[in-house]
Structure 1
Amino acid sequence: MSPDADLPAFVDEHRTVVAAPPDRVWVSLRRYADRLAGGHASRLTRVLGTHPPGGFAVVEEEPGSRLVLAGRHRFSRYRLVFEVRPAGPDLTVLAAQTWADFPGPAGAAYRLLVISSRAHVVAVRRMLRAVRDAAVS
């Protein structure tokens, strides 16, 4: 992703190695992303004021290799970039990059709550694990 004034700032990247070929990982990722993007507003997303209501929308896709989800709410605007890369025979690296801005004092407090507390790390690793587990089952 190239630096651009319209894109949020880079936060972090997490990876997992999946014991499955890239095409199976892609199918698993796409299904997971469809569930995220098709989600309905929950109590939390209503409080945050997410757009879209479920929190994420697919905004870019390079089938088989890259999928970008994005959203925003009262305290942040964010992108979650998944990349699927071959790593050997029947091995794939699944990476997730987070890009986000947290404007104003309320955004800074939200960043402290979510990013600095490592809750974000737990959530992203859970996402990667779910995609990985579905691809190998």
Structure 2
Amino acid sequence: MERLPYIDEHARSIDSNRDRAWKALLRVMCKDPNDPSAPSGFRLDSIDAPARLALSGRHWFSRYALIFELDDEGPSHTRIRAKSWGEFPGLHGKIYRALVVGSGVHRVVVRRLLRQIAAAA
């Protein structure tokens, strides 16, 4: 993965062991934990089960990456982190960043994903 400028990181503790949390992550992000594929707008960069899922994407106004990392917090607790990076070149990119990141929409979407993963676990 090409190194992009850091945007943010969000994390959540899940009342589940890491294997169950990993399967929940794949159900939410890939729809089928037995056949992981990138969700729309992303490509699958790497999978290191049950610890790391790296996705990236690009379109006219940005290049971006979203990486999920899972860490044990005990025998039945997992911490999941969603790290975001992105580059928004040119005037259109700056406007797009303001609309997506600056407005708080990105934060809301990532936190909702983490809640969905926790609920699925």
Q: What is the TM-score normalised by the length of structure 2?
A: 0.90
2:38–2:44: 8 Å Cα contact kept in structure 1?
no
Q: What is the aligned partner in structure 2 of residue 72 from structure 1?
A: 58
Aligned residue type for 1:63: A
Aligned to 1:7: 3
Q: Output the CA distance in 1 between the equivalents of 2:38 and 2:70.
A: 21
Aligned length: 117
Match of 1:91 in 2: 77
Contact preservation (8 Å) 1:26, 1:65: yes
> Contact (CA 8 Å) 1:33, 1:58: kept in 2 or not?
no
Cα distance in 1, alignment partners of residues 69 and 61 from structure 2:
26
- Map 1:1-137 → 2, pairs under 5 A: 6-35=2-31, 37=37, 39=39, 54-135=40-121
| Kept after mapping to 2: 8 A contact 1:18/1:94 | yes
Query: Closer, same or farther in 2 for the Cα pair 1:38/1:14, shift >3 Å?
Result: closer
Give every structure 1 segment of 4 or more consecutive aligned residues whose post-TM-superposition deviation is greater than 4 Å. Answer: 36-39
What's the CA shift for 1:59? 1.0
Q: Is the 8 A contact 1:68 1:80 kept in 2?
A: yes
Is the partner of 2:41 in helix, strand or coil? coil
Report the AA paired with residue 68 of structure 1.
Answer: A
Structure 2 distance, partners of 1:37, 1:128, is 18
* In structure 2, distance between residues paired with 1:76 and 1:32: 24
Aligned residue identity for 1:125: R
Instruction: Give percent identity, aligned residues only.
Output: 39
Matched residue SS, 1:88: coil
Deviation for aligned residue 1:37 = 4.8
CA distance in 2, matches of 1:80, 1:128: 12
The CA distance in 1 between the partners of 2:61 and 2:8, in whole Å, is 18
| AA aligned opposite 2:64 | Y
CA RMSD of aligned residues (A): 1.6
Give the C-alpha shift of residue 38 in structure 1: 5.4
- Listed as ranges, the gaps of 5+ residues in structure 1 are 40-53
Distance 1:85 1:79, change over 3 A: same
